[in-house]
Amino acid sequence: MAISLIKIADQAERLVRVIGHVAAWSAVLLVLLVAGNVLGRYLLGLSSVAAQELEWHLMAFGALFGMAYGINQGAEVRVDMLYERFGPRTRLIVDLLSTIGLLVVSLALAWFATRYAIQSHAMNEGSPDPGGLTHRYLLKGLLPVAFLLLAIQAAGMTLVNIARLIAPADLRPE
């Protein structure tokens, strides 16, 4: 049973890694866009509100989808003052409770963000600035998707922690 849970978790984490790599490449696009905007403004005297708004759209995309990837890669910040003093089983229980908490919060945020995105779509929200991007609801639609991806990562981690708790001691990764 523990091995089956880990296989399911691996699939979830593989999905997060693929989307995380896409989010990472959006940073390259962001750098190129910012450089193009700066060069255009100062060398050619050209400026575009839409291009400037696209900068923060790309940054939002990278941040939203990067949060699940960061956790997937173990890049989260952890306070180890007490945790490092716990025994292996206590650490597993703390990890399990933490990932369940992350799963619940992620699903709740996805739920609320869905309503927010639907409201934005219903009013056909766009940029309030002349020359800005239309269809701002598309960006807001990324919110529930990103939190669902975070929930998928949390579910995968939860399954791994359950598998580690139920596995025989000699099969538990340390």
| Band of residue 128 on the pLDDT scale cut at 50, 70, 90 | confident
pLDDT tens figures, 36-93: 999 998 999 888 888 899 998 999 999 999 999 988 887 777 777 888 888 888 989 9
Residue 168 confidence (pLDDT):
62
Which of residues 167 and 150 earns the better pLDDT score?
A: 150
- CA neighbor of 81 nearest in space, from 97, 100, 94: 94
Q: Give the DSSP per-residue string, 73-107.
A: TT-S----TTGGGS-HHHHHHHHHHHHHHHHHHHH
Looking at residue 1, its pLDDT comes to 66
Q: Mean pLDDT across the stretch 5-13? A: 83
3-state secondary structure of 172: coil
Taking residues 139-158, report their average pLDDT.
Answer: 94
The residue length of the chain stands at 174
Segment (H or E) for 10: helix 2-43
| 2-6, 27-31, 149-153: the lowest-pLDDT one | 2-6
pLDDT in tens, 80-127: 788 888 888 898 999 999 999 999 999 999 999 999 999 999 998 988
Q: Tokens 């989260």 identify what position? A: 76
In this prediction the pTM is 0.83
